[in-house]
Chain A
């Protein structure tokens, strides 16, 4: 048994969690302790169990063995609707066969808050409006969801999750289909939820730059086990990238002393870096080094990790 006071302070506690899909073990010996008010990045190669871990945290799948507590209570003990008022999910893929309008879809995020056979209240509609403004989809409100592009749809789904107004937001590669502009916009909105409102975000992220730039903490999964967890500046090293992703990172000296800012400045209209990163940068006043593969690879990959001279991935958005 874990110490009780520690459990209450933690948002999620996973003890020796194992999960199997059919006969195959997907996650093994998962021990996690997630605190509220943090932006957690969940990284790891394809098939490392990221989605499965998110399924467990959103209670859409159940542990095979072990224990999973949410706010000090077993996650399985919550009613679905109660949980939906606390945890929202933004899925990676989204297909809706029926042509609801954008506004209707966003309003569905209020489902757990509106009693059956009741009409939405003014507050419900305000939250829907607010979510649409944040995702810049007000102009799409009367469009049919089936007529939207992939990126537009994804913003609608994020807005739907924002309208759900939960303490915890879980993102399963929510920005995978988006262009860099909207990716950064969404990450900023989500970053502000954590920073200004003290909410907790757990996001599976493929793009290491995004993880480095926006997360406070990272959880690295590899082959169904937790490889490392910790503050983003401590964990995301070139060594780790080599070990987990089997890529040899090549460290190059940057042409501009502050490449991070300049690159971000030209790709993002509202370039305000999240505070933890600024602190991280000021701790390392040496010229930035960038981690590149080869120039050819660079042109194919939208982004590449950026390291500072000590080999730490200090985080930037690069083209």
Chain B
């Protein structure tokens, strides 16, 4: 455990950097990775682009691809971190960032914004959809928390159950909105499947603004989270204020999920698979697991997004792709858990 964690994190960071550079070069216009580095270098130094370079490259790299790629990395990293924290807090390896109904709340908010746009209420959709999604997610959290813990204690089972109940109600609400949307229901469905198309630097800044502080808070409490694997009562006698830590981390992870969902729609399974896989490889110590999840999630979502963007003949919604990979994996974990007899 002494020299391993820095090495692991460094390697993951390196892979992510490499993936970002490679992905930036891939697409309809293929750009050599060396050229990508050159453009980034010139931009970083504040220089002007020389005449020997294809004049479209800087625009394609800096204004089209990089925002989308960085958003994908940040959203993937954020969802994976949130997943790791949810699994640790709820003491349930099958928990994911959407367990508490955050996704349903965001979906409801987004659907509402879209249907208002369709019905002619003048709202700029590019702004109102993420904003409503975020509000929906936060409102859902407030309801789930007050349902689960009237006495200030958050037991895993009541939290999960409250999440399921609230999500079920919201799903009915989404169904109703889709019915209202009538023939234009496609817009809502497409949003629900998640997409990173057309992301701008604003999205990058917004996601980073939430992701990095959340990462720091999670790292700060990572050791307490390890102790909380003993369960709340014992953890308290080892000196962890488990109720407080639980509250802070639940809010933090949910906030992070909410911002990810409002930026990119509902992207499933990244928050489930990545913490799970990394826990298998690196062990359950959250001090290493949480930062590793950030890098792992970023790499995975970036790869998936690059596949749909650059390789597939038509651009598949990213949520569909991750769920197609994630679904069977979920079944595998579930089956193994059943066979494990726990």
Q: In the complex, what residues of B have CB within 8 A of residue A116's CB?
A: 220, 223
A108 and B227 contact, CB distance less than 8 A: yes
Q: Distance in Å from the Cβ of B278 to the closest Cβ of chain A? A: 12
Closest to A114 in B: B223
> Which of chain A's residues 96-138 have a Cβ closer than 8 Å to chain B?
96-101, 104, 108-109, 111-112, 116
Q: Distance in Å from the Cβ of B5 to the closest Cβ of chain A? A: 11
A274 interfacial by beta-carbon distance below 8 Å: no
A112→B236 CA distance, assembly (Å): 10
B283 interfacial by beta-carbon distance below 8 Å: yes
Give the A-B pair count, Cβ closer than 8 A. 72
For A238-256 the 0/1 string (1 means CB < 8 A from B) is 0000000000000000000
Q: In the complex, what residues of A have CB within 8 A of residue B227's CB?
A: 108, 111
A59 and B236 contact, CB distance less than 8 A: yes
> Which of chain A's residues 69-116 have a Cβ closer than 8 Å to chain B?
80-85, 87-89, 91, 94-101, 104, 108-109, 111-112, 116
- Which segment of B87-95, B107-115, B209-217 sits at the interface? B87-95
A91→B223 CA distance, assembly (Å): 21
A85→B234 CA distance, assembly (Å): 14
A219→B226 CA distance, assembly (Å): 35
A29 interfacial by beta-carbon distance below 8 Å: no
Q: Distance in Å from the Cβ of A84 to the closest Cβ of chain B? A: 3
Q: In the complex, what residues of A have CB within 8 A of residue B236's CB?
A: 58-60, 80
B239 and A99 contact, CB distance less than 8 A: no
A80 and B230 contact, CB distance less than 8 A: no
Closest to B93 in A: A97
B233 and A91 contact, CB distance less than 8 A: yes
> Which of chain A's residues 48-75 have a Cβ closer than 8 Å to chain B?
55, 58-60
A109 and B238 contact, CB distance less than 8 A: yes
B283 and A99 contact, CB distance less than 8 A: yes
B237 and A60 contact, CB distance less than 8 A: yes
A27→B236 CA distance, assembly (Å): 21
* CB-CB under 8 A for A80 and B239, given A97-B91, A116-B220: yes
Interface centre among B223, B229, B231 (most CB of A within 10 A): B229
B309 interfacial by beta-carbon distance below 8 Å: no
A200 interfacial by beta-carbon distance below 8 Å: no
Closest to A100 in B: B284
B239 and A81 contact, CB distance less than 8 A: yes
Q: In the complex, what residues of A have CB within 8 A of residue B63's CB?
A: none
A101→B279 CA distance, assembly (Å): 13
B285 and A100 contact, CB distance less than 8 A: yes
Q: Distance in Å from the Cβ of B81 to the closest Cβ of chain A? A: 16
Q: In the complex, what residues of B have CB within 8 A of residue A87's CB?
A: 237
* CB-CB under 8 A for A94 and B237, given A99-B284, A100-B283: no
> Which of chain B's residues 220-264 have a Cβ closer than 8 Å to chain A?
220, 223, 226-227, 229-234, 236-241
A170→B284 CA distance, assembly (Å): 28
Q: In the complex, what residues of B have CB within 8 A of residue A89's CB?
A: 233-234, 237
B231 and A95 contact, CB distance less than 8 A: yes
A84→B230 CA distance, assembly (Å): 14
A308→B239 CA distance, assembly (Å): 44
* CB-CB under 8 A for A55 and B233, given A97-B91, A108-B227, A116-B220: yes
A84→B234 CA distance, assembly (Å): 10
Q: In the complex, what residues of B have CB within 8 A of residue A164's CB?
A: 238
Q: Distance in Å from the Cβ of A82 to the closest Cβ of chain B? A: 8
Quick one: which of A98, A109, A170 contacts B229, CB cutoff 8 A? Answer: A98
Interface centre among B91, B238, B284 (most CB of A within 10 A): B238
Q: Distance in Å from the Cβ of A103 to the closest Cβ of chain B? A: 10
A170→B230 CA distance, assembly (Å): 16
A98 and B234 contact, CB distance less than 8 A: no
A-B contact pairs, 9 of them (CB 8 A): A59-B237, A60-B233, A83-B237, A87-B237, A89-B237, A91-B234, A108-B230, A111-B238, A116-B220
New A-B pairs, 5, CB < 8 Å, besides A80-B239, A88-B237, A100-B283: A60-B232, A88-B238, A94-B230, A108-B230, A116-B223
Measuring CB to CB, which residues of chain A are less than 8 angstroms from any residue of chain B?
55, 58-60, 80-85, 87-89, 91, 94-101, 104, 108-109, 111-112, 116, 146, 164, 170
> Nearest 4 pairs between A and B by C-beta?
A84-B239, A112-B239, A98-B284, A89-B237
